[in-house]
Amino acid sequence: MNQPRERAIDVDVGKPPFVSSDWQCINFHFHAFPSLITRPNHEVTSPEIPFGGHRWALVMYPSGFGAYRHDGVQKVDITLKHCSENGTTARVEYTVRAKDLNGNVKAGMSQKQSFVGTMSSGFLTLVRSEILDPTSNILSDGTLTVELRIKSMESASNTSSATKCQPFVPTNPLCRNIQRLLFDEDTADVLFEISKRQTSSDEGGNNDEIVTFRAHRAILHASAPTLATLCESCDNSTPVPITNVTPDIFELVLRYVYGLCIQAEDWKLHSKELIDAADQYGVINLKLEAEYWYVKMTNVMIDNVVDVLLYAESKHLALLEERVMDYFVENGDEALKLVPFHQIPESRSFFTGLLAAMNVKKGEGGGSVSISTIKHLNYKTARVDELRRRLDDAGYDVDGSREILIGRYEKMLADGNGDENGDEEEIASLTSSRRRSSTLSDGPRH
């Protein structure tokens, strides 16, 4: 027989410290969690709560959003839903966390998001078996408690205006509808399969298990063109074999392709595997985001600097290569003595990257100024982030090494697609240079 839940009472001894009232903390208690329905895409929605002139709820998918099960592992997804139907925009920063009974955070996600109309954003993903495991100490008499911390990012005037009666204007449901299609067997027209034998470290075992994934050709063509190409010769029922990727990593790739979030913990643990998979299957934005996390989580030092550089060059990871160059500049004396430079292939990219890092180091004494605010960009020694940002703003591809990015930037200038405040003399010089090169290559005319 279940005991009644304990009710906590807080008693302050002395004057408590000032805590900003911008944040509001709400605990959602999902009672009888073990008995919640686990059929595909079943939702359990909390009662609505008011905050910042808007109404909110937590939505739980006890069987996971997309209802994917792998090796008996069943996911539980929890998302924040904006319930106000007044057509106004709610801009909030929020954190959703699941804790054990000792207050230790078992899983969490944080996000800044603008909500328009009724929509959900972000997923806190839990493993159902871990929640049910008594040793995890997560459930209290079958109740799962999820903490929401939320803060408005709107001005006071915007918040007050949100409380006024506004006409209901529905939002475009396309993004959410596409996300709902993930692993949907009724509408999918592609079947992927991965053999556990090829991804198992136990080569001597007899593990022939096949893991399958359903997908949609149109979505793959838009978001993962290389992956879509693999499906061209297969009909709806013919499996497309996937190699060199584990099922868990491939699931993360598909979640990204369908517009779903990847949790910070997955980025931290699997950034290198995600780079490899995204590079293999042409999911460029996933590759670049995974590169950001890999750079963030990798401590470049003498023992690994050559391996990191060779990996960066093999995958054309300009940001990671830039991090290595920064290391060489910051630790020049030690690097000259201990780094086996004979293992590094000579390349123009290596030296231009090193010069760029030296240029940044040289300019550190002059104050911190964003390159974006400067009229003329010295693109040959610019940081990778700035090159990518300007290329992306102009609609150019942002994947590739520093040399590739510089080549695209020069093409952008020559095409006249750069910043309107760009260097007109540089554009004219590049255009003239290209014309001279073209004339010389054509040879004399008869």
Q: How many CB atoms lie within 10 A of CB 287?
A: 21
Q: Which 8-state DSSP code applies to residue 235? A: -
Q: What is the mean pLDDT of residues 159-176?
A: 68
Q: In this predicted structure, what is the pLDDT of residue 439?
A: 40
Q: What is the pLDDT of residue 255?
A: 93
- Segments in 91-246 forming alpha helices (H): 128-132, 156-162, 174-180, 196-199, 217-223, 225-230
Can you tell me the distance from the alpha carbon of 408 to that of 388, in angstroms, rounded to the nearest whole number? 10
Does residue 308 have a pLDDT over 80? yes
Find all residues with CB under 8 Å of 46, minimum gap 6, and list them.
28, 30, 57, 58, 59, 60
Which residue type occupies 257?
A: V
CA distances in angstroms from 241 to 126, 205, 229, 274, 380, listed in the order given? 28, 21, 13, 18, 42
Q: How confident is the model at residue 49 (pLDDT cuts 50, 70, 90)?
A: confident
More confident residue, 337 or 348: 337
d(CA 282, CA 161): 44
Closest of 88, 98, 95, 111 to residue 150, by C-alpha: 95
d(CA 110, CA 118): 20
Q: Is the pLDDT of residue 86 over 80?
A: no
- The model's pLDDT over 418-443, given as tens digits with 9 standing for 90+, comes to 654 444 445 445 445 444 444 434 44
Question: Per residue in 414-435, is it b (16+ CB within 10 Å) or e — as a string?
Answer: beeebeeebbeebbeebeeeee
Mean pLDDT of the chain: 77
The residue that leads in pLDDT, 87 or 233, is: 233
Domains, the chain, ordered by start: 23-171 (2.60.210.10), 190-292 (3.30.710.10), 305-442 (no CATH)
Alpha-carbon gap, residue 413 to 424, rounded angstroms: 9
Of the listed ranges 99-108, 286-295, 385-394, the one predicted with least confidence: 99-108
* Percentage with pLDDT > 90 across the chain: 22
The mean-pLDDT minimum among 40-54, 308-322, 335-349 falls in 335-349
Each residue's pLDDT tens digit, 113-167: 888 777 777 777 888 888 888 888 889 888 899 999 999 887 544 544 444 556 7
Mean pLDDT of 382-390: 87
Question: pLDDT at position 35, please?
Answer: 85
Predicted model pTM: 0.57
Digit-coded pLDDT (tens) for 268-293: 999 999 999 999 999 999 999 999 99
